[in-house]
Amino acid sequence: MTPVPSTPSGNLLARIVRILEWHHFGQLLPLLVLAVSLAVTHMLWESKYQETKLDMQIEFDSHVREAVRHVEDRMKVYEQMLRGIRALFAAYDNVRRDNFHTYVARLRLEENYKGIQAVGFAPIVPKAQKDKHVAAMREEGFAQYAVHSDGEQEEYAPTIYIEPFSGSNINALGYDVLTEPAHRIAMEQARDISDAVNTGKMLLRETDGHLRSGFMTFLPIYKNGVPHDTVDERRTNIIGWVYSVSRMEPLMTNILGEASGTIDVEILDGKTLSDESLMYDSDPSASHLARGSKDMFKSAKQIEIANHTWTLAAHSLRTFDMELEGGKPQVIAYAGTGASLMLALLTWLLVYGRARALQDAEDIKQSESRYRQMFEENASVAFLLDPDNGRIVDANAAAIAFWGYTMEELRGMNIAKISIAPSGKVVEVMNAIKTGSTHRIELYHRLKNGEIRDVEVFSGPIDYQGKHLRYSIAHDITARKRAEEGLRLALTVFHTVKDAVTVTDPDNLIIMVNPAFTTITGYSQEEVIGKNPSILSSRTHPPVFYIKLWETLLATGSWNGEICNRRKNGELYTEWLSIKLVRDESGKITHHVAVFHEILQRKAMQE
């Protein structure tokens, strides 16, 4: 096709030049053009600089939010590991050393919980029972066992179980965890709130002798079968703590993901940005935010990890800042300055009568480039249409590939052979074409092989070679429409199936139930959203039943079985329950889906 002709700006500029030359002011025009062009360039540069900076700020903030989410998610998984050990103590009145060892070994700390150096149990030993405790440990085979504490105390918390029971961990046997003030504060807080609590920053000695940053997490263990709902009951009925010792560097490995080369993340203990509180630095070679980093983008967010405050501080690296310093704003500055000088030169040439031919050639070249980029090289289906007769004037390569026709077949073909408008939209399409307005509409396109595809068409008027045509761009949305239909079908099934369906989040809190759930349990959706499915528990099953259920679910990804639950009105009923784990691409658990139905009639027949 012939390129779209340029506007007659060259003629106008030539007339201005002749007028100025007539008045002997022609020599001032190049300087005037240069000054105006540089001013416009500066405005464009400033606009693009602010726009790019805003986009980069949004991208930086997104990376920081993602890092915070990764840290929180990872720490929740590690806290859940300790809760699993507490469940072990809740299931057995006396957890022996071999029970503890077997359970922790199945966790495979080295593979699944990188950064955890040790997991231990420290019971409370009153001063009066200290000697008896030492004697019992020595009878168990630890001949050199002793309670290592700083002086006499009313009660001790010596480590008696620790895994892996190797290397430097062996030296922790008998160590009174309450001796260290930072440990005691965290342990007492955990006891009083019945939840996991982190200590502040600790320096852990590595096998190479170096000190590395780390922390400990404590979770209280209470006597079985006694209440611990109030602070006084918890203080009275606590028997000890399970804890983990974590090293920050391996724990936070790959916490940034794809952003690791563009921003530096530092994790600090507490709310203060200082070298003393620094626990982890993703890029130690970069300047520290705690020391007042002068990088362009900074952020500091406080996060609660196991009831202890950390500060996640981030700043951009040089590779990230270069996008602003040497990116599009700089290109505009260089290109604008160069264009300004070129325009001044062309103006000077026009003053002396030699610019017209050069300007025309430049206009033609730019027009060809614009047209080729806009139409011929467009990856989307694009075509020109004569609105008077509905015939195709031209089409790009993408249209030829999509429809399956050759260019010779398309030219002169009526668009009605390809485009099919739903009956309710025929009038709308015709009115938009007649009025010459720009419009967007969803249609069907029939390909040469007879296949029907859903398309989204954007169309508007264009003047080309003295004719009023329609320029249209079409996108294939067949996959999107099928996905929408599938979603509607899934929701219909969800709301009409007779089996009850419950969907919970990674923390096992209910986020969705169907009407059948309400019919069977008596609970409405509003009453259970945000609650744990344990509200249905009949308490007729022993704790070990639920421990085995979760072990099977986490190991295989599913569990099926018969279970007795309680309705809202207190009535017991038997159901057949199937639970599935839903994981994302990285293997992380995103949801639990439970489906159950009442089997009272079948139970009656069996009985």
Proportion of the chain in helix, strand, coil states, percent, rounded to 5: 45, 25, 25
553-595 confidence digits (pLDDT tens): 999 989 999 999 999 999 999 999 999 998 888 889 889 989 8
- 57-93 pLDDT, tens digit per residue, is 888 888 888 888 888 888 899 899 999 999 999 888 8
CATH assignment of the domain containing 564: 3.30.450.20
Would 130 be classed as within a structural domain?
A: yes
Confidence (pLDDT) at 327: 61
> Could you tell me if 166 and 230 lie in one domain?
yes
pLDDT higher than threshold 70 for residue 329: no
- For 207-224, letters b (16+ CB in 10 Å) and e give eeeeebbbbbbbbbbbee
Please enumerate in sequence order all residues whose Cβ is within 8 A of that of 92, keeping only pairs 6 or more positions apart, or say none. Answer: 99, 544
Task: Report which DSSP code applies to 317.
Answer: -
CA distance 354 to 348: 9
Q: Do 465 and 524 lie in a common domain?
A: no
Does the pLDDT value for residue 54 go beyond 70? yes
- Residue 186 pLDDT > 90: yes
Q: Do residue 585 and residue 526 come from a single domain?
A: yes
pLDDT at residue 130 tops 70:
yes
For the cut 60, the answer to whether the pLDDT of residue 4 exceeds it is no
pLDDT above 70 (res 378): yes
**390 belongs to a structural domain:** yes
Structure tokens at 362: 């430049």
Q: Is the pLDDT of residue 348 over 80?
A: no
Which one of 251, 269, 288 terminates a domain? 251
- The model's pTM is 0.50
> What domain count does the chain have?
3
How buried is 572 (Cβ within 10 angstroms: 0-12 exposed, 13-18 middle, 19+ buried)?
Answer: exposed
3-state secondary structure (DSSP) of residue 119: strand
Q: Where are the alpha helices (DSSP H) in 196-230?
A: none
pLDDT for residue 287: 65
Mean per-residue pLDDT of the chain: 81
Residue 463 included in any domain: yes
Residues 353 and 72: beta-carbon distance below 8 Å: no
In this structure, the answer to whether residues 469 and 418 fall within a common structural domain is: yes
Residue 316 lies in a domain: no
Q: What is the CATH number of the domain that holds 242?
A: 3.30.450.350
Instruction: Establish if 44 belongs to a structural domain.
Output: no
Q: Which range (198-212, 240-254, 279-293, 541-555) has the least confidence?
A: 279-293
6, 364 in Cβ contact below 8 A?
yes
Mean pLDDT of 148-165: 90
**Last residue in a domain, options 191, 224, 251:** 251
pLDDT value of residue 382: 87
**Does residue 197 carry a pLDDT above 90?**
yes
Q: In this structure, is residue 16 part of a structural domain?
A: no
Residues 555 and 518 both lie in one domain: yes
* Gap between the Cα atoms of 99 and 88, Å rounded: 9
Better-scored residue on pLDDT, 318 or 338: 318
* pLDDT tens-digit readout, 481-535: 786 776 676 676 677 778 888 999 999 999 888 888 999 999 998 999 999 999 9
Q: Are residue 135 and residue 241 in the same domain, yes or no? A: yes
**246 lies in a domain?**
yes
User: Containing domain of residue 400, as a range?
Assistant: 378-481
The answer to whether residue 57 sits within a structural domain is no
Q: Are residues 439 and 513 in the same domain?
A: no
Out of 193, 220, 251, pick the residue that ends a domain: 251
SS3 525: helix
Query: How far apart (Å, rounded) are the C-alpha atoms in residues 233 and 226?
Result: 9
Q: Where does 485-556 show beta strands of DSSP type E?
A: 500-504, 510-513
505 plus 585 within the same structural domain: yes
Whether pLDDT at 119 is above 80? yes
For residues 521 and 559, membership in a common domain is answered with: yes
Exposure of 306 by Cβ count < 10 A (0-12 exposed, 13-18 middle, 19+ buried)? buried
Of 403-417, 425-439, 505-519, the one with minimum mean pLDDT is 425-439
Residues 427 and 522 occupy one common structural domain: no
CA distance 495 to 509: 20
At 399 the pLDDT is 87
Whole-angstrom distance, CA of residue 6 vs CA of residue 262: 44
Are residues 470 and 510 located together in one domain of the fold?
Answer: no
Q: Are residues 161 and 246 in the same domain?
A: yes
